Structure 1
Amino acid sequence: MQKHKQERNQQRRRLLKGLVSSAGMASSFLAHANASSLQRSSAPTAAANPNIQAIAMERVRLLPSVYLDALRSNQAYLLRLQADRMLHNYYRFAGLSSKGKPYGGWEADTIAGEALGHYLSALSLMYAQTGVSEMRHRANYIVNELERVQEAHGDGYVGGFLRKRKSGEIVDGKEIFAEIMAGDIRSAGFDLNGCWVPFYNWHKVLAGLFDAQRYCKNQKALKIAEKLANYIAKVFDSLNETQLQQVLNCEHGGINESFAELYVRTNNSKWLTLAERLYHSKTLEPLVQGRDNLASLHANTQIPKVIGLARLAEITGKARYQKAGLQFWNSVVEHHSYVIGGHGDREYFDAPDTQHQHISEQTCEACGTYNMLKLTRHLYSWKADPRYFDFYERGHLNHILTHQNPKTGMFTYMTPLMSGVAREFSNEEDSFWCCVLSGLESHAKHGDSIYWSQGNTLLINLYIPSRLHWREQGLNLKLTGAYPFEEEIQIEIENCRQEVREIALRIPAWATEFSIELNGKVINTKNEDGYCRIKRSWKQHDRIRLKFPMALRLENAGGKPAKDDDQIVAVLRGPMVLGADLGAADKPYSAPSPALVGHQLLSQFKRLPEHKLRYQTLGIGKPTDMQFMPFFQMAERRAAVYFPRFTESQWQVAAEKYQQEEEEKQEIARRSVDIMYLGEMQAERDHQLESDISYPVSYRGRNGRDARTGGFFAFDMKVKPGTLSLQASYWGEERNRRFSILVDEQEIARVELDAADPGVFVDKTYAIPPHLTAGKNKIRIRFQPETGFTAGPVFGCRLILNADQ
């Protein structure tokens, strides 16, 4: 799912592509005798291992840290939310009296009802993490109300989503299932017969019920889930394989995981049979074959399917499911992720290893990382390879914490990596985007993966201040320290029986040196495949002191150690991505995107002692020097994460052109009123797109839409006072295309495309007569081909104020 978007920085990309790489050097480190490499070389392989388990959150309590701050902010928001408002449509369509008006935003759209499942999960997770009884009380209340709703329907159905009929009337979403069972299946990817992702919605409701059962010990939740599953199963049972694949082409979340999990909880084999049948061949089969076929796919649509396949691998032991999970994780982490651990530009995967070409204002959807961390936990439970937690720590610290403003408890949708772009946060009443809802869960479980067990070994994978009460093994310990701001971590054994004989400490891949003390004495331990293992008969008050010296280093756009020919670099310290502070988010930013110029760049960073963690560049920042701080803490600041890197001679040659390109970029952004990304499902939904004989297309990494003879496509765009023009993007080699562009049914242009600009995308601008926009808040744009011709493809439209305004 996708929000309104802005234009990529194409001009800057063209400039940088032509530059010779600088000779700037990456950070140099002293090598410790037992140090790991900056990047672990071996790819993990699957071998399901039931002995590797995360220690339950009920056994972990967070201590003061940025993670506890985030959890408390989220806890306060959970308590401000009202379950009755999320239940509004559930009551309404069951014929019951509602107890509160519905929330706005997505909860007022046809995806309504999704929030309830996430909220139920978040309450259950927060109860497990904190023990706060109000969380369990609210979760149990929701379960009881869903039971009332289900009984009122009488057929197992539970749902809050809506359906928009062809007439435009909004009705109960339940009516689409009779059509689907009759073989009438219509979907463009997110919509299914006029309803927005209903199976995705149900996946979240079922997940909430499972979490209520697991963490709140509510057995009624499982009964509701099974009755709902019987209703859903009837829909799928009515479909042949071709029809099933049609339905699965619509985003369906991890509905396969839902049925796999139901099988585990009920031991009813029919749920396993159905879980395996819900196999989206178009996406999953290339993964089974070991291929990275992700380019141009909507990223977060795919991850839950793969999580479901990973769950099935654990249940069935089938190697093909394991292979798909590993192939997907390795592709995303190694070839599609940014330095903060997130992935995707405008929610879509691009070609592998092209992150440097997609540093935009719409990078890194939060839901994607939320789900990638889930997948990572599955794969780690197959093999305790620390490489998984190198990624987990990166995404958890640099993206998930960035996802929330801890002052307000509100969430971002995207985390923009384009320099100077402010983060956009939700509001309490009228957002409820998918990333708000996954945020409710993410920030309820920061203790989820700190501690793991493997036989009699305790594995510590994250250094988040916390207390562990591992009752099953008779171990209590306390982990403290100011990591990741500071280099030292302390672990104190508060109580221990003899079952735990070994504590394994993860040594991050970036840590080229480290030291360990036990009870005040330095001990010589080897880094054995990413862990230092200490075996002894543990006693009360035993103390471990672990220290990771943290030098600054440079990484490339994909989060790998920077090479001399990497033109785009980011600055990190330990596990933490640093961002340049470009000013307050509520102030406009018009300066050029910053660059780093010179040799030995890292030697020209000075740590400022008066701040907890802040650095100042000394003469290498262009257009001016900058101060750097942890990126995740810049919720209310404009930031730069990626920097083009130049030598002095390169900069002298490029500066004038670079300045011009940046000014043009800022100017077009200033004049932009609205942007439409054609061919991208959420943008088309947001702009009320209607079409006939019209198809989304993808070419050279850009999405668009065309209309064939006899068809059209039309959409709304916001306007504001002033003289406006429409800018449309085309591939410069299109031939024999003829079409009209209309505004509110009045033609403003006749267009003919005939390969006038080979090899590039081009922007064409069309003036809009002022009377067509005067006094309006929006206009309707329509592309209509001449008979016998095609309109477009059009790779996006932008409404702009004319330059003299």
Structure 2
Amino acid sequence: MTKPHTCPHSPADSSIENAARRRFMQWSALAVAAGLLKFPLEAAASEAGKVTAVPLQAVRLKPSLFLDSLLVNQRYLFELEPDRLLHTFLKYAGLEPKGAIYGGWEGDTISGHTLGHYLSALAKLHAQTGDAEAKTRIDYIVSELARAQARDGDGYVGGFSRKNDKGEIEGGKVVMEEVRRGIIKGSAFNLNGSWSPLYTEHKLFAGLLDAHELAGNRQALEVLEKAAAYFAGVFDALDHEQMQKLLDSEFGGFNESYIELGARTGNPRWIAIGKRLRHEKVVDPAIAGKDDLPHRHANTQVPKFIGEARQFEVAGDADSAAAARFFWETVTAHYSYVIGGNADREYFQSPDTISSFLTEQTCEHCNSYNMLKLTRHLYQWTPQARYFDYYERTLHNHTMSAHHADTGMFAYMLPMITGGERGFSDKFDSFWCCVGSGMEAHAQFGDSIYWHDAESLYVNLYISSVLDWKERGLALQLDSGVPDNGKVRLKIDRAGNNAPSRLMLRVPAWSEGRYTLRVNGQAQKAKAADGYLALSRAWQAGDVVEVEFDTPLRLEHAAGDENCVTVMRGPLAMAADLGPVSAPYDQPDPALVADVSPLSGFAELPQPGRYLASTTRPEPLTFVPFFSQYDRRSALYFRYMTSAQWTQEVARREKVKAESLALRTSAVDMIQFGNEESEKAHKLVSDTSFGGSYRRQQCRDVRGKGFVEFEMKGSDKPMALRLRFWGSDKGRFNILVNGKLAVQVTVERGQVIDFVDRDYALPQELTRGAQALKIRLEPQHGDTAGPLFGGWLIPA
């Protein structure tokens, strides 16, 4: 087998690097021409870090919704028991676990991923607050991992497992030993019987890196280097083709962790391994400036590009920079919802089709968490305010929405559908990926407020906080009314000789360039340049800077659809309040109707930040900040119509209602898939089949070697089975009637982004004279059947 190339720099390498640099420069030049980027190209290609975030340890939060969220998260972190999260790590090392295993995902073969997130969250919490309990827990967890690792002569330590061919659960090392031997059997989320094992291990790697950097735990780096050596040995045994096949299974940000480990230790072996973890079928199109994202699992891809960004910073790979930047530009411009999140049913759909995918399964939180990490990398290369316009939008509207302000629980998805309900986690029986990323996200709000270069301090987020930056002799207090209003006040408490002489205040895009500025009470006429107000002077204790940004109401349209709009105020997406989640919502979507401007009908209510809109139809609605609707239903996106168009829409809705009634009347029988009462009445049984809901329609799908079987009333007339699909779905399955093959079905992904009904004529010899029909749906060759949103037996 071919070993990875590790020879010294050669002329061939030089030509490759020159070609990569040319591609980076070409793409960057195009981006500048298109107005996407503004920076000196040569500098951008040669300098990976122009600005740096002020250390998290130097920032403390003041009272605000962010501090409230951090404290609620801290409470939950301390309710969790490290011994229970360590259960599988000890068990598969041959040691007696000290705590019972948690439920949810921790009770599955992906067990162990939460511990890595938990380590990171504790480390960030400790850095942000100085909390001693967080440090104590970190030290204990790392020592227990070291104890488990000591039982393995190869340095392996892990908590994931796998289900073997006999259905038995066994430790995850057997998976990696099979990979070492070239046995790579898997899919996007399965590798040799284990659920995303490399993804799970990456979380541990990241947690150990954070424990070392943010909590000063030296043993964490020792444990990590031994584990890294084990996995590197597995990768060394694979040739290039095998490695790429392995990377077809989700591996998180393993490439980033190896490159970071190399940067931290100075060991080039780790950087070489990180470079080998480039998934070429995903990254190469981005290097070439090609959007190849449609129908790819979204969060699987984002960490790959974070790794590419880090590769540029550490190894100077210009291709990596081009890939990371193109990916970010593409996702934020063409795939992102107003809250900054992306993807429907966890997958990228077609670009600029946001308005067609407003569902209850939009915006997985992990995606946004990782997009914010990527944003930080790109910003430090080229400090443009627009990066933090995106960062701030996502932080306020997705991150804060996904964390229940009272319970501290986390949402997996943030529904964009009208009337959607946020489903929050259970304390001890969920442990989804978004619980882990949520723990981290709400432990580190101070990490991106302040940035610096040699002479400047950048204020990028207006989050009330205290900065005590001892290395530069600067201390200040930031008091902010954002997002309730645009009032910001900075007071210098200490400014030594080494303090930055220039203060750079980001002018948020939402202010539309309107603001007032005072320094020590005196009005200033400073103009913003490149999104920043630059204030240069010899700062002294007692200096006060006050700025008030306008927060006008405005409309934003969904990418690709100018008639699908949201209402914004400051950084906040505003939503119409549709009532508590305890009351079901089954009404047609409301619309914004006006012949001039729908915002003219918005009147501010006595409670700040709330508006009554007279231009919504069919009735006036109250608008509130979307993030705050934890236990309430919302309407976020609206069709923007004229009065004449609304009249036509009312007629269309009446027609749809009449057609639905006619179908119910004419059908011999009907089953509502996903509805417990209907399925029970039709004696439905299934295997590897899942009920759910999509676009407020209940549904059921069947996967792999599973089936779904149910009974329907018979008829002497020729009959057809009508099945309802979502137009862009695909699948292959067989329809059997009373045990005999009736129809072979192939559903191709269509262009219709709506529900689609398809009729399948049933052979009359299978239905004639039968009082009841037993209908069975079976996927072909491990494919899928559905999701199916309803079945009707109708006259052919």
Q: Which residue of 2 aligns with 1:84?
A: 83
Alignment of 1:45-64 (within 5 A): 46-47=44-45, 48-64=47-63
Q: Which residue of 1 aligns with 2:444?
A: 445
Q: Which residue of 2 aligns with 1:584?
A: 580
Deviation track 1:445-473 (CA, whole Å, cap 9, x = no partner) reads 01110000011210000000000001111
Measure, in 2, the Cα distance between the counterparts of 1:231 and 1:175.
13
Q: Which residue of 2 aligns with 1:625?
A: 620
Deviation track 1:238-281 (CA, whole Å, cap 9, x = no partner) reads 11111111100000001111110110111111111111111111
Deviation at 1:183, TM superposition (A): 1.6
With normalisation by structure 2, the TM-score equals 0.84
Deviation at 1:759, TM superposition (A): 7.2
Deviation track 1:594-640 (CA, whole Å, cap 9, x = no partner) reads 1111132111001101x13210012x111211000000111111011
Deviation at 1:515, TM superposition (A): 1.1
Q: Cα 1:82–1:753, aligned 2, differ >3 Å: closer, same or farther? A: closer
Deviation at 1:642, TM superposition (A): 0.1
Deviation track 1:654-702 (CA, whole Å, cap 9, x = no partner) reads 2121355589999999955269xxxxxxxxxx98479xxxxxxxxxxxx
Structure 1 letter corresponding to 2:600: S
Is residue 2:742 matched to residue 1:750? yes
Q: Which residue of 2 aligns with 1:410?
A: 409
Measure, in 2, the Cα distance between the counterparts of 1:128 and 1:42.
35
Deviation at 1:50, TM superposition (A): 3.1
Q: Which residue of 1 aligns with 2:17?
A: none
Larger displacement relative to structure 2 (726-735 or 76-85): 726-735
Q: Cα 1:286–1:44, aligned 2, differ >3 Å: closer, same or farther? A: farther
Q: Which residue of 1 aligns with 2:221?
A: 222
Structure 2 letter corresponding to 1:511: S
Q: Cα 1:771–1:247, aligned 2, differ >3 Å: closer, same or farther? A: farther
Q: Which residue of 2 aligns with 1:640?
A: 635
Structure 2 letter corresponding to 1:604: G
Counterpart of 1:503 in 2: which secondary structure? Answer: strand
Alignment of 1:366-405 (within 5 A): 366-405=365-404
Q: Which residue of 2 aligns with 1:43?
A: 37
Q: Which residue of 2 aligns with 1:180?
A: 179
Measure, in 1, the Cα distance between the counterparts of 2:727 and 2:413.
27
Deviation at 1:748, TM superposition (A): 7.9
Measure, in 2, the Cα distance between the counterparts of 1:303 and 1:487.
32
Q: Which residue of 2 aligns with 1:507?
A: 507
Q: Cα 1:52–1:663, aligned 2, differ >3 Å: closer, same or farther? A: farther
Deviation at 1:783, TM superposition (A): 3.0
Deviation track 1:536-560 (CA, whole Å, cap 9, x = no partner) reads 11111111111111110000113x9
Measure, in 2, the Cα distance between the counterparts of 1:726 and 1:140.
60
Deviation track 1:63-91 (CA, whole Å, cap 9, x = no partner) reads 11111111111000001011111111111
Q: Cα 1:628–1:348, aligned 2, differ >3 Å: closer, same or farther? A: same
Deviation at 1:592, TM superposition (A): 1.7
Deviation at 1:782, TM superposition (A): 2.2
Q: Would you say the 8 A contact 1:584–1:636 is kept in 2?
A: yes
Measure, in 2, the Cα distance between the counterparts of 1:273 and 1:446.
33
Counterpart of 2:83 in 1: which secondary structure? Answer: helix
Counterpart of 1:404 in 2: which secondary structure? Answer: coil
Counterpart of 1:379 in 2: which secondary structure? Answer: helix
Structure 2 letter corresponding to 1:211: D
Alignment of 1:597-612 (within 5 A): 597-598=593-594, 599-609=596-606, 611-612=607-608
Equivalenced residue count is 714
Which structure has the higher relative contact order (CA within 8 Å, separation 6+)?
1
Measure, in 2, the Cα distance between the counterparts of 1:757 and 1:98.
48
Q: Which residue of 2 aligns with 1:797?
A: 788
Q: Would you say the 8 A contact 1:91–1:97 is kept in 2?
A: yes
Q: Cα 1:100–1:566, aligned 2, differ >3 Å: closer, same or farther? A: same
Q: Cα 1:661–1:301, aligned 2, differ >3 Å: closer, same or farther? A: farther
Measure, in 2, the Cα distance between the counterparts of 1:195 and 1:185.
11
Alignment of 1:135-150 (within 5 A): 135-150=134-149
Measure, in 1, the Cα distance between the counterparts of 2:729 and 2:571.
45
Q: Would you say the 8 A contact 1:88–1:99 is kept in 2?
A: yes
Deviation track 1:727-766 (CA, whole Å, cap 9, x = no partner) reads 463879999x883348xxx638722559999975743479
Deviation at 1:43, TM superposition (A): 2.4
Q: Cα 1:726–1:216, aligned 2, differ >3 Å: closer, same or farther? A: farther
Structure 2 letter corresponding to 1:614: R
Measure, in 2, the Cα distance between the counterparts of 1:224 and 1:644.
55
Deviation at 1:719, TM superposition (A): 9.9
Structure 2 letter corresponding to 1:740: I
Structure 2 letter corresponding to 1:184: I
Q: Would you say the 8 A contact 2:592–2:617 is kept in 1?
A: yes
Measure, in 1, the Cα distance between the counterparts of 2:713 and 2:367.
39
Q: Would you say the 8 A contact 2:704–2:784 is kept in 1?
A: no
Counterpart of 1:547 in 2: which secondary structure? Answer: strand
Q: Which residue of 2 aligns with 1:25?
A: none
Which runs of no fewer than 5 residues in structure 1 stay unpaired?
1-39, 676-685, 691-703, 707-711, 774-778, 786-790
Alignment of 1:547-558 (within 5 A): 547-558=548-559
Q: Would you say the 8 A contact 1:689–1:716 is kept in 2?
A: yes
Q: Would you say the 8 A contact 1:673–1:719 is kept in 2?
A: no
Is residue 2:419 matched to residue 1:425? no
Deviation track 1:88-138 (CA, whole Å, cap 9, x = no partner) reads 111111111111111111111110110100000000000011111000100
Deviation at 1:794, TM superposition (A): 4.5
Q: Would you say the 8 A contact 1:594–1:622 is kept in 2?
A: yes
Q: Which residue of 1 aligns with 2:237?
A: 238
Measure, in 2, the Cα distance between the counterparts of 1:407 and 1:544.
34
Measure, in 2, the Cα distance between the counterparts of 1:373 and 1:794.
36
Q: Cα 1:428–1:792, aligned 2, differ >3 Å: closer, same or farther? A: closer
Structure 2 letter corresponding to 1:715: G
Q: Would you say the 8 A contact 2:713–2:773 is kept in 1?
A: no
Measure, in 1, the Cα distance between the counterparts of 2:509 and 2:565.
19
Counterpart of 2:468 in 1: which secondary structure? Answer: strand
Q: Would you say the 8 A contact 1:733–1:754 is kept in 2?
A: no
Measure, in 1, the Cα distance between the counterparts of 2:209 and 2:772.
57
Deviation at 1:772, TM superposition (A): 10
Measure, in 2, the Cα distance between the counterparts of 1:551 and 1:636.
27
Is residue 2:303 matched to residue 1:304? yes
Alignment of 1:273-352 (within 5 A): 273-352=272-351
Deviation at 1:318, TM superposition (A): 1.8
With normalisation by structure 1, the TM-score equals 0.83
Q: Cα 1:596–1:543, aligned 2, differ >3 Å: closer, same or farther? A: same
Which of residues 635, 647, 652 is equivalent to 1:652?
647
Q: Would you say the 8 A contact 1:501–1:536 is kept in 2?
A: yes
Measure, in 1, the Cα distance between the counterparts of 2:777 and 2:170.
28
Measure, in 2, the Cα distance between the counterparts of 1:283 and 1:754.
28
Deviation track 1:34-73 (CA, whole Å, cap 9, x = no partner) reads xxxxxx9432564434341000111001111111111111
Q: Would you say the 8 A contact 2:672–2:789 is kept in 1?
A: no
Structure 2 letter corresponding to 1:515: T
Deviation at 1:645, TM superposition (A): 1.0
Deviation at 1:797, TM superposition (A): 2.6
Counterpart of 1:403 in 2: which secondary structure? Answer: coil
Deviation at 1:290, TM superposition (A): 1.1
Q: Would you say the 8 A contact 2:712–2:772 is kept in 1?
A: no
Deviation at 1:770, TM superposition (A): 12
Q: Which residue of 2 aligns with 1:73?
A: 72
Counterpart of 2:778 in 1: which secondary structure? Answer: strand
Structure 2 letter corresponding to 1:376: T
Q: Cα 1:553–1:730, aligned 2, differ >3 Å: closer, same or farther? A: closer
**Identity fraction in percent:** 41
Alignment of 1:556-575 (within 5 A): 556-558=557-559, 566-575=562-571
Counterpart of 1:153 in 2: which secondary structure? Answer: coil
State the superposition RMSD in angstroms.
3.5
Q: Which residue of 2 aligns with 1:496?
A: 495
Measure, in 1, the Cα distance between the counterparts of 2:187 and 2:329.
29
Q: Would you say the 8 A contact 1:732–1:755 is kept in 2?
A: no
Deviation at 1:801, TM superposition (A): 10
Q: Would you say the 8 A contact 1:739–1:752 is kept in 2?
A: yes
Q: Would you say the 8 A contact 2:191–2:197 is kept in 1?
A: yes
Counterpart of 2:151 in 1: which secondary structure? Answer: helix
